[in-house]
Structure 1
Amino acid sequence: MPAALPPGDPVPSDGSPPPAVRAALPARADRPLGLYVHIPFCSVRCGYCDFNTYTAADLGEGASRESYPDTLIAELEFAAGVLDAAAAPARRLSTVFFGGGTPTLLPAEELARILTRARELFGFVEGAEVTTEANPDTLDDAAAATLAAAGFTRVSIGMQSAVPHVLATLDRTHDPANVSRAVAAVRGAGMEVSLDLIYGTPGESLADWETSLRDAVAMDPDHLSAYSLIIEEGTAMAAQIRRGRLADVDGDDHADKYLLADRILAEAGYSWYEVSNFSRGPGMRSRHNLHYWQDTDWWGAGPGAHSHLAGLRWWNVKHPAAYAQRLAAGISPGHGREVLDAEAVALEHLMLRLRIADGLDLAAHAALEAAEPITAETTSRLVAEGLVEEEPLVPDAEHPVGRLVLTLQGRLLADAVTRRLAD
């Protein structure tokens, strides 16, 4: 089952932001604006997944893959109206990300149509990054060519593992051989390639994980994501572990596999820029992902999608049928929202900036209204324990230390480091 939506204040039917948020919008005119487009369809529901996704059998009345693109476009048009009514400064989209689910279960022509309408409504900055996730079995040369012609610039392929028994445990149904075919199709269409991997699956050995890493590197992607498997309550895999049918995840095993990933990827020329993400240099980083870690704004379109605008966070109703009904009635699909208070802003700034290789700017953090002081004693202890490094903001010996950056060991303990800095 998809995870439950968080509680929050009601969203008005016209989607209008609170007055304080409207007043804050002009000061954010120079910040990037992103668009997330949620495609909630999957051919099979994976046992570990608690994302807001649905198979054809789950949908029932009132929602279908065929009608979904028009419903999404209706939300994009609604979003443009909300921003206009709020007198938000005009900002063209710097990134667009189609996620899911499996976006490429929709015909490539439909993804192209959604993207074209987004461009018409908002405009794109020059060199905008436009990404779609894809299952390897749903991408061929013709589909890749259609996506590229529409303006997609990169494809994130759900490889997960190269080892059949690991894929089977994850309920992934794609043919591992199709990963390289999908990579070739994306490359042939002139787009960038990202591969998504998961480590820590029950029954996956260190040798299995090394096989997946080396197979991924051999395909020479521009970007790789390596996520540790998290067992979410309410999923089929959580039930299997509870019943003893699968072994529980092991923190030490996860740490060993992360260290192996860092070593193999570094040897192949990839550097980390966020705890779980690696790229061939700064130019290949996912700019859309960085939106989430750097306090920018984005509109999330689709059932269950989350958005952020000048400290206002809101989320849509979950089920595609309820989502479609609201938009057909011309009202916001928003289910709940919250305005982040000063304490939440400061904590999120600390937590998110610390996760990226650019590090936590100590002066910028101290300037936040409710930021807890980070003492020299605390940072010295973390440095002595090998968890963070103190670095200047510019590579110049005349400038004082200005930021904290996680070490490799610190990345393994990022949450604990955050708690210590926040105390």
Structure 2
Amino acid sequence: MPSALPLGAPAPADGILDPQAADGAGERPFSLYVHVPYCTVRCGYCDFNTYTATELGGGASQAEYAGTALSELDFAADVLDRSGLPQREVSTVFFGGGTPTLLNPAELGSLLGRARTLWGLAPDVEVTTEANPETVTRESLARLAEAGFTRVSFGMQSAVPHVLKVLDRVHRPERVPQVVEWARAAGLAVSLDLIYGTPGESLSDWEHSLTEALACEPDHLSAYALIIEDGTKLAAQIRRGEVPDVDDDDHADKYELAEERLSAAGLHWYEVSNWARTPGQECRHNLAYWRGSDWWGVGPGAHSHVGGVRWWNVKHPRAYAQRLASGVSPAAGKEALDGDTRYVEDVLLRSRLAEGLPVAGLRPEGRTAVAGLIADGLIDAPAAFAGTLRLSLRGRLLADAVVRRLLPD
């Protein structure tokens, strides 16, 4: 089942944000995330807030979803205005899920069009949709580009059939280069998502997936270690001994191979799990998350953050639709982050970026840890001496341990 929402304070029915949300808002970029909670099949490793078409009805169906999400966009614009925030153009939009491309291009385009009407889109706006390779056609990708989309992120995950089977992925490996070609013909930038460390995946399997992905010459590539989430089908299979558990050493070997192959192909890492061909092809939407910018998350279970105020929507699509139909906020809870929490999150997220953290911005206990991190080869020594804490390759493998040393209890 999907993961649980965090605990927090009750969210106001009118959606009004805490006063701190407006402080300095004019200097911060503003982004939108749109969650589309539908999938053809729920993958065995996934704990995202997703549902198959047969699970839902009564106001929560896939066919009704675009209209409901449009209502939240209208609600968002009203809330931001009543909360005293300045009008800001949208700098990035990201459609995630789920499988956003289960909605047709006209529906996705209507959501983007409403954002354009309500706020305006920045001249260099980045608009991304995730896509399962089996849910797009040459025509649908062309129509998305015509609607204003600029990027597509294909969930490739692996090029090896037996690995895809363990993950419950339904696309065929040979479909990926075909959809990449269609996306390029439409003028869309292309990102590929890979997963490594699937039970039964050998190092040669992973190398084959990297080879096939690089043959598509993507502008951007994400490679994520498989994490076994409680409550998923894959977790139950491991518990019953039907498939082997994941292995940290295996993850490390595969990450090092990814860095070797991707850097040799001209892609540079800019976040621990993300590589881009040029700085201009880095995912600016995800950078907005890691840098603590402002975004409004549309959809059931979607999270939002504006000026240190964070909230999250009710998870079930039916409850989400009912709240909006009643004219009340779909938010289930919220929290206003204090200075300590914002510092911890800033270190946690920004330390994962290649741009690094200013050493001078660390608190005393963090600055004290820098010498030891250099000695242990976890951060780049020349960069640290120049005033920036930047992970080494070894540090990327042990990023969580680096954060623990920067943020001791």
User: TM-score per shorter chain, which class?
Assistant: over 0.9
Indicate yes or no: 2:276 matched with 1:279. yes
Name which of 352, 358, 375 aligns with 2:367. 375
Q: Deviations over 1:115-167 (max 9, x none)?
A: 11111111111110000000001111110111000100000000000000000
What RMSD, in angstroms, separates the aligned Cα atoms of the two structures?
1.2
**Separation of aligned partners in 2, 1:53 and 1:280:** 31
Indicate yes or no: 2:159 matched with 1:162. yes
**Separation of aligned partners in 2, 1:26 and 1:52:** 32
- The answer on whether the counterparts of 1:139 and 1:185 sit within 8 Å (CA) in structure 2 is no
Alpha-carbon offset, residue 390 of structure 1? 4.1
Alpha-carbon offset, residue 375 of structure 1? 3.0
Name which of 114, 119, 125 aligns with 1:117. 114
**Separation of aligned partners in 1, 2:37 and 2:76:** 19
**Separation of aligned partners in 2, 1:5 and 1:411:** 28
Alpha-carbon offset, residue 92 of structure 1? 0.6
Q: TM-score, normalised by structure 2?
A: 0.98
Q: Deviations over 1:30-57 (max 9, x none)?
A: 2111100000000000000000000012
**Separation of aligned partners in 2, 1:75 and 1:178:** 35
Structure 1: segments with no counterpart, 5+ residues: 394-399
Name which of 366, 369, 379 aligns with 1:388. 379
**Separation of aligned partners in 2, 1:314 and 1:139:** 32
Indicate yes or no: 2:401 matched with 1:416. yes
Name which of 355, 361, 369 aligns with 2:352. 355
Name which of 87, 95, 98 aligns with 1:98. 95
Aligned twin of 2:295: 298
Indicate yes or no: 2:48 matched with 1:39. no
Q: Which amino acid aligns with 1:314?
A: W
Q: Which amino acid aligns with 1:61?
A: G
Aligned partner of residue 87 in structure 1, secondary structure:
coil
**Separation of aligned partners in 2, 1:181 and 1:200:** 26
- The answer on whether the counterparts of 1:358 and 1:405 sit within 8 Å (CA) in structure 2 is yes
Aligned twin of 2:15: 15
- The answer on whether the counterparts of 1:372 and 1:422 sit within 8 Å (CA) in structure 2 is no
- The answer on whether the counterparts of 1:390 and 1:403 sit within 8 Å (CA) in structure 2 is no
**Separation of aligned partners in 1, 2:194 and 2:375:** 33
**Separation of aligned partners in 1, 2:58 and 2:64:** 12
Instruction: Indicate how the Cα distance of structure 1 residues 241 and 309 shifts in structure 2: closer, same or farther if over 3 A, else same.
Output: same
Aligned partner of residue 167 in structure 1, secondary structure:
helix
- The answer on whether the counterparts of 1:391 and 1:404 sit within 8 Å (CA) in structure 2 is no
Name which of 380, 391, 399 aligns with 1:406. 391
Q: Deviations over 1:343-372 (max 9, x none)?
A: 111111111110000001122x24xxxx45
Divergent runs of 4+, >3 A: 390-393
Indicate yes or no: 2:201 matched with 1:204. yes
Aligned twin of 1:396: none
**Separation of aligned partners in 1, 2:372 and 2:8:** 38
Equivalent runs, 1:122-133 vs 2, <5 Å: 122-133=119-130
Aligned twin of 1:336: 333
Indicate yes or no: 2:232 matched with 1:235. yes
Q: Which amino acid aligns with 1:408?
A: L
- The answer on whether the counterparts of 2:23 and 2:307 sit within 8 Å (CA) in structure 1 is no
Q: Which amino acid aligns with 1:259?
A: E
Aligned partner of residue 3 in structure 2, secondary structure:
coil
Alpha-carbon offset, residue 26 of structure 1? 4.1
Q: Which amino acid aligns with 2:129?
A: T
Aligned partner of residue 411 in structure 1, secondary structure:
helix
Aligned partner of residue 305 in structure 2, secondary structure:
strand
Q: TM-score, normalised by structure 1?
A: 0.95
Q: Deviations over 1:228-257 (max 9, x none)?
A: 000000001000000000100000000000
Q: Which amino acid aligns with 1:3?
A: S
Q: Which amino acid aligns with 1:238?
A: A
Aligned twin of 1:397: none
**Separation of aligned partners in 1, 2:382 and 2:82:** 44
- The answer on whether the counterparts of 1:131 and 1:154 sit within 8 Å (CA) in structure 2 is yes
Aligned partner of residue 66 in structure 1, secondary structure:
helix
**Separation of aligned partners in 2, 1:327 and 1:362:** 45
**Separation of aligned partners in 2, 1:31 and 1:374:** 26
Structure 2: segments with no counterpart, 5+ residues: none
Indicate yes or no: 2:62 matched with 1:65. yes
Alpha-carbon offset, residue 392 of structure 1? 5.4
Q: How many residues align?
A: 408
**Separation of aligned partners in 2, 1:292 and 1:130:** 15
Q: Deviations over 1:293-350 (max 9, x none)?
A: 1010000000000000000110000011000000000110000001112211111111
- The answer on whether the counterparts of 1:26 and 1:89 sit within 8 Å (CA) in structure 2 is no
